[in-house]
Structure 1
Amino acid sequence: MADKTKKPLLSDFAPVTTQQWMDKITADLKGADFERKLVWRTNEGFNVRPFYRSEDLEEVKYLDSLPGEFPYIRGTKKTNNWYVRQDIKAVNAVAANKKALDVLTKGITSLGFTFCDKVEDFNAEISSVLANIISDDVEINFSTKHGSKKLLEAVVAYLKKTNRDLSKVKGSVNFDTIGCLTTSGKSCKSFDEMFDHAKEVVEAGKNLPNFKTIAVNGKLFNNAGSSIVQELAFALSMGSEYLAQLTERGVSVNDAASSMKFNFGVGGNYFMEIAKLRAARMLWATIVKSYKPAGLEPTKMAIHCETSQWNKTIYDPYVNMLRTQTEAMSATLGGADSLTVQPFDTIYKDSDVFSERIARNQQLLLKEESHFDKVVDPSAGSYYIENLTDNIAKEAWALFVEVEEKGGYTAALKEGFVQAKVAEVADKRKKAIATRRENLLGTNQFPNGNETVAEVAGNVSSCTTKCCSGDTVIEPIVKFRGAEEFEALRLTTERAEKTPTVFMLTYGNLNMRLARSQFSANFFECAGYKTIDNNGFDTVEAGVEAAKAAKADIIVLCSSDDEYVDAAPAAFKAINGEAIFVVAGAPKCADDLKAQGITNFVNVRSNVLETLQGFSKELGL
C-alpha cells in the first residue's frame, strides 16, 4: 500500500517560470544582447534558443503518435534494430564473395556490392558474388551505374535457382537516374526515356516484394556541402518526382512508393541529424498519403544512412573515427533502417582490415554495449529535439513546395535552382572553415606539425563509372570535402624542396606573448610550416638576430598591443626585408603600423586559408 505521507521529490520547490529564467539570464549577461550571445542561427534557416520548456511544444501536433504509427515520426516499426552494412567493391566476383562470407561472421547483417566496371554477364557475376549467402536475415544490396534491370533479373534467376523464398529476401538496387543526372549533369536519354527505364526496373523487381529498386540519394547533397534542410527537401522532391512519373506510367502508388529507399548522409551536427530522420519520415508519409494508396504501409519511408564524407580529413585521420561514431549514434537514435559507417581512411586510400574492423565495431558497440537497439526513439519528448524536428520539417517542407511550384525536381534542376541553393550554403560553410568558425580538428585547428601524409594520400583504387557519356544538359552538383583546400595547401608545403620556417619573436608582456605565440604556431602549422617558439627576448633586435640565425622565412612578433607601438617598427627595421614580418593580433595601432609599411597581421578575425595561401604564394610554393 502506498505511503500517502510521501510527497513528490520536487514538491518543496516552487515552479520556475520562463520569465524568471529569462530574468536570470539577462542579469548574468550584464547588458550583453541575448539574441547575439545565446541564440544560434543555423545553416538550416531558423534560430535555436539556449533553452526550451514544455510550452514550446504546445503547437506541435504529432506528439501523441507512437512508434510504428502514422506519420512515423517515431519510427516505422516498434523496435529500433537496424542492419549493420558493409560495402564491398566487386572488382572480382570471387574475391568479393570471399570477403562477404568473412564479414558475415563478424557482425555484418547487410552487404553492399558495388560493381566497379561494366558487367557483361550478370548471371555469372551474381552467381559468384552470392554463392553460399543464404540467410534471409542478411540484406543484399547492389550498386551499379549500368544495367540495373539486367542485374535484378539475374538476382531473381539466381534466387529461384537456389530455391530461396523470394518474399523473404531483403535488399536493394541503387538505381537512381535522377541522382546520376544531378551529379554528372549528363543524360544519355530524354527525360521521358529515363523514367520509362525506371518503370522497367520497378517491374523487374516485382518478384522481390522486400527489395527496394529505386534509390533516392539525399547523400549527394550532403556530400556537396548542403544544409540538412536542403538535403531533406531535395531528397523529398526527387522521391516525389519518381512517384509522379511512375504513377503516370501506370505503376500503382503502392508499388511505386514501396520500391523506394532513401539514402541519407549523416554529418557531425549530432542533434540536427537525429531530428532530420524523424522529420523525413513524417514528411514522406504525408506526401505518399496524398496519392491515396491502399493502406498506410506504402507511406513508410525506408532509410539507409551513410556517414558523411564532407567533414572527413586526410590529416589527423583517426579523428575521423570520432566523427563517424557520433554520426552513427545520430543515425541509429534517429531510427535508420540500415547504416554504413565508412572506414576512417576511405577518403585517401583503400581501406584495410584494421579500418574496416573499426568501422564495423563502431556499430556493434552501439548495439552490444550501449543497447541502442533496445529503445525506440529515445529522443521523443525532448523539448529541444522535438523543436528541432518541427523546425526542420517546416523549413524542408517550405523548400519542397518551392521546388514543386517550379514544376518538380528535374525542372528546378534544369533551371539551376537546386544547384544555386546548395552552392550558397556550401560557399558559406567553406568560408566558415577558412575562418575557423567551423572547426576541423587537426586540419584548420590544432594540426599535428610533425604529420606527413603525401605518400599515402590519393591511393584509392577507382571504383566509379560514369553515369552517362552523353552531352551535358545541366550544371552538376559538385561533391567535395570541407578540408580539401587546407589539405591542398599543406600537401604543397609537404612536397616542396624546403619547408618554410616560422620564428616566434616573443617579447615583453609574458601572458600576451605566450598566448599570441601559441595562437600563431597553431595558425601557421595549418599550412604545414615549421614553427619555432621561444621563451622571450630582452630586445626585439636580439629576437631578430636569433630568427636570422635560424634562417626563418617568416618572423612573427608576439607581444602586447601597447608594446607593439614601438616594438613592431623596431623589428620591421631590423629584419630589413630579409624575411616576411608578421604581427600577431589586431592592435589599436594597426593603422599607424600599416602606414610604416607593416602589412601582415594574424588574429582571430583572419581568414586563415586565404592568409596562408598568400604567404605560400609569396614564398614561391
Structure 2
Amino acid sequence: MEEKKITTTSGIEIKELYTSTRPLTEVPGEFPFTRGIQKDMYRGRLWTMRQYAGFSTAEESNKRYHYLLQQGTMGLSVAFDLPTQIGYDSDHDMAEGEVGKVGVAIDSLKDIEILFEGIELEKISTSMTINATASILLAMYLALAKKQGADLKQISGTIQNDILKEYAARGTYIYPPKQSMRIITDIFEYCSKEVPKWNTISISGYHIREAGSTAVQELAFTLANGKAYLRAALEKGLDINIFAKRLSFFFNCHNNFFEEIAKFRAARRMWAKITRDLGATDEKAQMLRFHTQTGGSTLTAQQPLNNVVRVTNQAMAAVLGGTQSLHTNGYDEALSLPTEAAAKIALRTQQVIAFESGVTDTVDPLAGSYFVETLTDNIEAAAQLYIDKIDAMGGSVNAIENQYIQNEISAAAYQYQLEIEEGARVIVGVNKFAREVEGIHEVFSIDESIRTIQTAKLSALKAERNAFLVENALRDLEEAARGTANLMPFILVAVEAYATLGEISNILRKVFGEY
C-alpha cells in the first residue's frame, strides 16, 4: 500500500521523521535575525497587543477605543470604511451602502479630532490600515497631534501605505501604480525628517493570504513588494540605512502551526539578506519587524465558537515565530464585525499566552528542532524561486501589471477550495463533524443612518470653515502634483484648513488619473 503523502498548505512535503539538520549557528538579535530581532525577545518586552477596531462614526469608534484601552490593549489599530479607503466622502454617490460598515467613516480632520478625543497621541502608538489615502489620514493624524501640542518627533505608529498588494490582492487603489509609488516615497522622505519614529509603510502579506495565496506565496510576494519599495526610495536618493528602519511588515497567521512559525523565521532571514544586498549596513535597517493578524479567512460561520480555538492556535504560532505586534480576531467575525464580548475574548487570548503559557520565557523556543529548522530552510528556498522569477520580470510593479502575481494567487485559492470540497483538507464543523448546530444570538450590525449623520456633519463643516483657505490649499496641492515637489506638506496644509478627504483625493485624481 502506497504511503499517504502529507504536505503543508504550500505543498512542501512533510517527512515522517526528521533526524538531522545543519548546525544551528544563528544568534538572536544578530544578522540574519532568523531567531528574532532582539537578543532577549519577550523576556525584555512583550509584543504589542494591538486590537484592530473601527466602525460607524468617529464617536462610536472612540467609545470602543476607550473600552479596549481599559481592557489592557497596548496600541490602537484603526479600521476605515470603504469610502475612506478609496477617497470618497460619505455624501458621495459611490459611498451609498458602505458608510461606516467595515470601519470608521473619516471625511475630515473634524472626524479625526472626535475619533481620538481623550487620547493623547504622544502616549500611544497607532496603526492605521489605510493605503491609497494613507497620505491624507497621516496628515490628519499629525494635524491633531500638533493641536494637542505634541512633539512630532515623538509621535509613533504605522500607516499600511502598501499600494502594490492592493493591485495584486485587495482592490482599494485609486491612482496608477507609478503615481501611487510617488506618493509613497514622498511619505518616506517627509517622515524621515519630520516624524522619525513613524513607520511609513507596513508591507502587507495579510491580504495576499486572505485572497487565497499559500504561505510561501504570501512570503515571496510580500518581500518582492518590499524590494520594490526599497528600490523606489533609493531612486529618490534616500539613505537605505535611515528609511529601511521605518519599514514594517504585516503578516497573516493561518492554521498550519509549524509552517507559519517557519514562515516568520524565514522572512527575517530573507529580508536581512535583501536589505544587505541593496546596501544596508546598519543592522537596524536589516531587521524585519512585523505585525501579525490571525487568519480572517480561516474563521467559519458554522460552529463559530470553534474560532476561539483557531485564533488561539494562530496567536501561539505568531508568538513562537517572534512577532512584534499582534491582533487576534473575534470568534464572531465570519458573521459580523466583532461584538464587545468577542473583542474581549480575543484580547484575553493574547494575555493568557503572554502571562500563563511560559512560551515567552526563552528566546525562540523551537530553535534547533530538526523539523522547524528544515521547514524554515524549505520555505526560504521555495519563496526565493518566486522572488527570482519576479526579479527577472523587472520587479513587483511589472509582475502586477502583467497579472503574474494575481494569477498565482487565484490558482492557489482555487486549489485550496477544491481540497476542502473534496474532503482532502478538513475544516472542523464545515466538511467534517458538521452535525452540531451552534447558534450565536448577538451579532454586531451597523445602521444605514450613519451616512445621513456623516452627510449632515459634512454640510456643517463646509458652512463653517474658511472657504478661501481651502480653495488656496487645494490649488497649491494641484500645482505641486503637476510638478515634482513632495506632496506631504501641501496635503497637511489642506487638512488643517478642513479640506475633506474626498476633495483632496479628487485633486490627485484630476492630475494622476484613476487606475
- Residue 282 (structure 1) shift: 0.6
Note closer, same or farther for the CA distance 1:406–1:461 as it changes in structure 2 (3 Å cut): farther
Are 1:345 and 2:340 matched, yes or no? no
Q: How does 1:400-411 map to 2 (within 5 A)?
A: 400-411=387-398
Counterpart amino acid of residue 71 in structure 2: K
| 1:377 equivalent in structure 2 | 364
Q: How does 1:358-369 map to 2 (within 5 A)?
A: 358-369=345-356
Are 1:46 and 2:12 matched, yes or no? yes
Q: How does 1:544-583 map to 2 (within 5 A)?
A: none
Q: Give the aligned length.
A: 432
Q: Does the 8 A contact of 1:122 with 1:150 survive in 2? A: no
Q: Distance in 1 between matches of 2:226 and 2:149?
A: 33
Q: Distance in 2 between matches of 1:82 and 1:320?
A: 22
| 1:433 equivalent in structure 2 | 420
**Percentage of matched positions with identical amino acids:** 27
Which protein shows a greater Rg? 1
Counterpart amino acid of residue 155 in structure 2: V
- Residue 171 (structure 1) shift: 1.4
Are 1:388 and 2:349 matched, yes or no? no
Q: Distance in 2 between matches of 1:137 and 1:426?
A: 41
Q: Distance in 2 between matches of 1:443 and 1:284?
A: 37
- Residue 159 (structure 1) shift: 2.7
Q: Distance in 1 between matches of 2:163 and 2:423?
A: 37
Q: Does the 8 A contact of 1:148 with 1:175 survive in 2? A: yes
CA offsets per residue over residues 449-474 of structure 1, 9 Å max, x none? Answer: 54578x989957799x999999996x
- Residue 143 (structure 1) shift: 2.5
CA offsets per residue over residues 277-303 of structure 1, 9 Å max, x none? Answer: 010011011101112124121111120
| 1:198 equivalent in structure 2 | 184
For 1:41, what is the secondary structure of its paired residue?
Answer: coil
| 2:53 equivalent in structure 1 | 88
- Residue 186 (structure 1) shift: 7.7
Q: Distance in 2 between matches of 1:167 and 1:372?
A: 35
Q: Does the 8 A contact of 1:83 with 1:109 survive in 2? A: yes
Are 1:67 and 2:28 matched, yes or no? yes
Note closer, same or farther for the CA distance 1:288–1:122 as it changes in structure 2 (3 Å cut): farther
Counterpart amino acid of residue 142 in structure 2: V
Q: Does the 8 A contact of 1:83 with 1:139 survive in 2? A: no
Unaligned runs of 5+ in 2: 90-105, 451-500
Counterpart amino acid of residue 384 in structure 2: W
- Residue 132 (structure 1) shift: 3.2
Counterpart amino acid of residue 161 in structure 2: F
Q: Distance in 2 between matches of 1:374 and 1:194?
A: 43
For 1:85, what is the secondary structure of its paired residue?
Answer: strand
Q: Does the 8 A contact of 1:109 with 1:137 survive in 2? A: no
Q: Distance in 1 between matches of 2:55 and 2:300?
A: 26
Q: Which of 162, 186, 209 is the aligned partner of 1:176?
A: 162
CA offsets per residue over residues 377-398 of structure 1, 9 Å max, x none? Answer: 1111111101111111111111
Are 1:239 and 2:226 matched, yes or no? yes
For 2:298, what is the secondary structure of its paired residue?
Answer: coil
For 2:363, what is the secondary structure of its paired residue?
Answer: coil
CA offsets per residue over residues 504-536 of structure 1, 9 Å max, x none? Answer: xxxxxxxxxxxxxxxxxxxxxxxxxxxxxxxxx
| 1:518 equivalent in structure 2 | none
For 2:127, what is the secondary structure of its paired residue?
Answer: strand
Q: Distance in 2 between matches of 1:401 and 1:45?
A: 19
Q: How does 1:203-352 map to 2 (within 5 A)?
A: 203-206=189-192, 207-352=194-339
| 1:151 equivalent in structure 2 | 137
Q: Distance in 1 between matches of 2:383 and 2:31?
A: 19
Counterpart amino acid of residue 164 in structure 2: I
Q: Does the 8 A contact of 1:152 with 1:205 survive in 2? A: no
Counterpart amino acid of residue 126 in structure 1: I
Q: Does the 8 A contact of 2:338 with 2:443 survive in 1? A: no
Q: How does 1:518-557 map to 2 (within 5 A)?
A: none
Q: How does 1:489-528 map to 2 (within 5 A)?
A: none
Q: Does the 8 A contact of 1:84 with 1:109 survive in 2? A: yes
For 1:40, what is the secondary structure of its paired residue?
Answer: coil
Note closer, same or farther for the CA distance 1:124–1:255 as it changes in structure 2 (3 Å cut): farther
| 2:73 equivalent in structure 1 | 108
TM-score (norm 1): 0.65
Q: Does the 8 A contact of 2:122 with 2:145 survive in 1? A: no
| 2:454 equivalent in structure 1 | none
CA offsets per residue over residues 159-208 of structure 1, 9 Å max, x none? Answer: 34434344443310121221222235585433321111111222342332
Q: Distance in 1 between matches of 2:442 and 2:145?
A: 41
| 2:41 equivalent in structure 1 | 79
- Residue 43 (structure 1) shift: 3.9
* RMSD of Structure 2 on Structure 1 (CA): 2.9
Q: Distance in 1 between matches of 2:227 and 2:67?
A: 39
* RCO higher in structure (CA 8 A, sep ≥6): 2
Counterpart amino acid of residue 66 in structure 2: L
Q: Distance in 2 between matches of 1:252 and 1:183?
A: 30
Q: Does the 8 A contact of 2:121 with 2:145 survive in 1? A: no
Q: Distance in 2 between matches of 1:91 and 1:450?
A: 31
- Residue 108 (structure 1) shift: 0.4
Note closer, same or farther for the CA distance 1:275–1:450 as it changes in structure 2 (3 Å cut): closer
Q: Distance in 2 between matches of 1:146 and 1:189?
A: 8
For 1:254, what is the secondary structure of its paired residue?
Answer: helix
Q: Does the 8 A contact of 2:339 with 2:443 survive in 1? A: no
- Residue 352 (structure 1) shift: 1.1
Note closer, same or farther for the CA distance 1:167–1:97 as it changes in structure 2 (3 Å cut): same
Note closer, same or farther for the CA distance 1:175–1:461 as it changes in structure 2 (3 Å cut): farther
Note closer, same or farther for the CA distance 1:261–1:461 as it changes in structure 2 (3 Å cut): farther
Structure having the higher helix fraction is: 2
For 1:216, what is the secondary structure of its paired residue?
Answer: strand
Q: Does the 8 A contact of 1:71 with 1:285 survive in 2? A: yes
Q: Distance in 2 between matches of 1:305 and 1:131?
A: 27
CA offsets per residue over residues 247-294 of structure 1, 9 Å max, x none? Answer: 112222134322322111110000110110010011011101112124
Note closer, same or farther for the CA distance 1:121–1:456 as it changes in structure 2 (3 Å cut): closer
Counterpart amino acid of residue 70 in structure 1: F
- Residue 114 (structure 1) shift: 2.0
Are 1:130 and 2:96 matched, yes or no? no
Q: Distance in 1 between matches of 2:246 and 2:447?
A: 32
Counterpart amino acid of residue 131 in structure 1: E
- Residue 106 (structure 1) shift: 1.0
Which piece of structure 1 moves more, 198-207 or 431-440?
A: 198-207
Q: Does the 8 A contact of 2:199 with 2:246 survive in 1? A: yes
Counterpart amino acid of residue 347 in structure 2: R
CA offsets per residue over residues 14-46 of structure 1, 9 Å max, x none? Answer: xxxxxxxxxxxxxxxxxx45xx34x52334243
Note closer, same or farther for the CA distance 1:406–1:167 as it changes in structure 2 (3 Å cut): same
Note closer, same or farther for the CA distance 1:406–1:460 as it changes in structure 2 (3 Å cut): farther
- Residue 423 (structure 1) shift: 2.2
Are 1:141 and 2:106 matched, yes or no? no
Counterpart amino acid of residue 223 in structure 1: E
Q: Does the 8 A contact of 1:90 with 1:115 survive in 2? A: yes
Counterpart amino acid of residue 194 in structure 1: S
Q: Distance in 1 between matches of 2:184 and 2:155?
A: 21
